[in-house]
Amino acid sequence: MQLDQRRAGDVLIVIPLEDRLDARIATDFKEQMTELIASGHTKIVLDLSKVEFIDSSGLGAIVSGLKRMGGRGELVVCGLQETTMTLFRLTRMDRVFQVFENERQAVSVLGGNEKDAAT
């Protein structure tokens, strides 16, 4: 799975470039997120604007990233499309994760330099 990454101050913005976050790629996604967290990133914005579908495996991989943070940082989500936002609401993940409309809002809340974040 390809992940685009960039920084906005001390915030890491991670953008999955696949349109599906499902069982086929969930393990790879989880491993890449684990590596990013293990390398010291404590403020992560997961921009899911390109993701059109998330299954239970994909959702589990996202939750795994949050658990990996272990309270030593923040992992927030932004850019959910209508179908993925519905999944977050149905599973109540919208209460577990801070969900933002766009990258700029998410980066701003985490204290990054929002000039570096896309609109």
38: Cα separation from own chain's centroid: 16
What is the number of structural domains in the chain? 1
Q: Residue 55: which pLDDT band, with cuts at 50, 70 and 90?
A: very high
In a domain, 119, yes or no: no
In a domain, 38, yes or no: yes
1: Cα separation from own chain's centroid: 14
In a domain, 118, yes or no: no
Look up the domain containing 98 and give its range.
3-112
CATH number at residue 11: 3.30.750.24
Q: Residue 119: which pLDDT band, with cuts at 50, 70 and 90?
A: very low
Q: What angle do CA 75, 52, 39 make, to 5 degrees?
A: 30
pLDDT value at residue 1: 85
Q: Does the pLDDT value for residue 100 go beyond 90? A: yes
pLDDT value at residue 28: 97
In a domain, 117, yes or no: no
- Which residues, in sequence order, are CB contacts of 114 under 8 Å at separation 6+? 8, 104, 107, 108
